[in-house]
């Protein structure tokens, strides 16, 4: 091979390396991944459905131990769901609402975890028997963002009361 061919191969290798490095940086740093409106709506609906399913399981608990376990499980599911939503593509114009929804979901996950920890505290134990419902302001906050998304054309139901 001549020196000209070697130079061309070196340039091609350098350009390919730069393209790969930029691609990796965009993926690793989150980039501005965009999604079509339909794809974003599907992501938001999936997010809502996962959260609602996890939350509904809490209401079907048959014992205090099961209640605590299901609250922990719901906390984990909602936390993962928030992370998945944060990493998914967002339709143009919905970036701020998406970020707020992620934040509200993370807060909802955190309060479920904290509540399950409180229920495990032996000094709190006697009070648990008198509880006949649970209400979380974070649930309301998630629903507010879902309502805003719906008002902007994303067809998504709110979380149900269970």
Q: Whole-model pTM?
A: 0.77
**Each residue of 102-150: pLDDT tens digit?**
999 999 999 999 999 998 888 876 667 667 678 899 999 999 999 999 9
Q: Locate the DSSP E strands across the chain.
A: 34-35, 90-91
Of 137, 78, 84, 86, the closest CA to residue 109 belongs to 78
């Amino acid at each position: 091979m001549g020196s000209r061919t070697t130079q061309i191969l070196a340039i091609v290798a350098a350009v390919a390396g730069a393209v790969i490095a930029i691609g990796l940086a965009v993926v690793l740093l989150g980039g501005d991944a965009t999604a079509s409106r339909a794809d974003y709506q599907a992501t938001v609906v999936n997010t809502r459905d996962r959260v609602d399913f996890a939350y509904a399981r809490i209401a079907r608990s048959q014992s205090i131990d099961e209640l605590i376990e299901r609250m922990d499980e719901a906390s984990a599911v909602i936390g993962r769901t928030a992370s998945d939503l944060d990493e998914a593509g967002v339709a143009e114009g919905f970036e701020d609402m998406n970020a707020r929804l992620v934040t509200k979901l993370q807060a909802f996950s955190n309060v479920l975890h904290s509540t399950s920890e409180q229920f495990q505290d032996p000094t709190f134990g006697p009070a648990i028997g008198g509880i006949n419902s649970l209400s979380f302001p974070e649930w309301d906050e998630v629903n507010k963002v879902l309502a805003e998304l719906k008002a902007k054309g994303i067809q998504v139901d709110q979380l149900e009361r269970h």
